Amino acid sequence: LPDRLSRLGAPLICCFKRTGRLLNIAKAVSGHQRAVDLSPADHPDLPVHLIHLGIAFTTCFRQTGRLPVIAEAVSAHHIAIDLTPEDHPELPVRL
């Protein structure tokens, strides 16, 4: 279920970018947050779900300008980086 929720977020973000409807970005954030919440702490995809959540929050911030939203984005990205092993091939991209 977390993977499905996370995959649903990307099209919702695209819809938001094309329509400007805040409901789409709210649904994307909610889906990504659920994916994070439903993933066990040691699941290898948790950092990916966190990155996607951070992207959704960043997209929302660009529209709303609300500082708490960008703080959530930064937090999600930091946690994703902290959970990524130093020898992981995706670490440079996540940084």
Q: pLDDT (tens digit, 9 = 90+) per residue, 73-95?
A: 999 999 999 999 899 888 888 87
What's residue 7's pLDDT? Answer: 92
Q: How far apart are the first and last CA of the chain?
A: 27
Given a contact cutoff of 8 angstroms between Cβ atoms, the answer to whether 46 and 89 are in contact is no
Q: Is 0.75 surpassed by the pTM of this model?
A: yes
Nearest to 12 by CA among 62, 52, 40, 51: 52
Write the pLDDT tens digit of every residue in 47-76.
999 999 999 999 999 999 999 999 999 999
What's residue 94's pLDDT? Answer: 80
* Domain ranges, residue 51: 2-94
Domains held by the chain: number: 1
Residue 95: how many other CB atoms lie within 10 Å = 8
Place 19 in a pLDDT band, splitting at 50, 70 and 90.
very high
